[in-house]
A and B are shown apart, each in its own frame.
Chain A
């Protein structure tokens, strides 16, 4: 079983849609959780950290369920510029040992 698994995608959604990505992780000792965004042929960049209580940043909401070892990302009112690959990332030890999921590709269509 892979350490971090994500919805395989791709997701093709119209502008304005709400889309949700799911991620599960296998190591119960994982300490920190993130969503990264990667544009085509570019490096990954941090979208948001995921806090135990859940957190929101504008149109983006992240949730963590430690008991189920599950992380989610919700994007509301999708924009064309949201088209990218979204990577679920788990940190086993603070600042070290980042484990990446395979990514889920999102295409927002006009």
Chain B
């Protein structure tokens, strides 16, 4: 079974803190994604990466950065946390150009609260 693991289920951070969300997948997938999910807004793509050290901005990259130093690990960084970044963060991975019906596999999510 594909496993995507996020380092924390729940986090509480203070405004202005630097926050690291870690994600690890064990299926040698090329593609990794970070989404945030908010009520009424659905899942929105923050960043994705299709290879080590490669990254692409998604729909809402402002206030975030990412790091992919190893294929299995994709980190999301909140440079200076703000209250409007309180959300559920979901990491996902998928095989690289795996053909039709290549699905995305999700981690269990990190519920971040910024106070």
**Is B34 engaged at the interface, CB distance under 8 Å to the other chain?**
no
In chain A, what residue has the closest Cβ to B106?
A43
B50 touches A100 (CB 8 A): no
Query: Across the interface, which residues of B come within 8 angstroms of A11, CB to CB?
Result: none
The residues of B that contact A32 with a CB separation of less than 8 Å are 100-102
A25 to B50 CA separation, bound complex (whole angstroms): 24
Asked whether A95 is an interface residue with its Cβ less than 8 Å from the other chain, the reply is: yes
Residues of A contacting B43 with CB < 8 Å?
A: 44, 87, 100
For residue B92, which residue of chain A has the nearest CB? A98
User: Which residues of B lie under 8 Å from residue A95 when comparing CB positions?
Assistant: 30-31, 94-99, 102
Q: Tell me, in angstroms, the Cα distance from A20 to B4 when the chains sit together.
A: 31
Q: Are B90 and A44 in contact (CB under 8 A)?
A: yes
Distance in Å: Cβ of B83 to nearest Cβ of chain A: 21
A5 to chain B, nearest CB (A): 10
B96 CB contacts on chain A under 8 angstroms: 95-96
- Residue pair B42, A100 in contact (C-beta under 8 Å): yes
Cα distance A34–B106 when bound, in Å? Answer: 14
**Complex contacts, A94 vs chain B, CB 8 Å:** 97-100, 102
8 Å CB contacts to B: which residues of A75-110? 87, 89, 91, 93-103
Shortest Cβ distance from B86 into chain A, in angstroms? 15
Name B44's closest neighbour in chain A (CB-CB).
A100
The answer to whether the Cβ of A45 comes within 8 Å of any Cβ in the partner chain is yes
A interface, CB within 8 angstroms of B? 31-32, 34, 41-46, 49, 51, 87, 89, 91, 93-103
- Smallest CB-CB A-B distances: 8 pairs: A43-B106, A95-B102, A102-B42, A49-B101, A100-B43, A95-B94, A95-B98, A46-B103
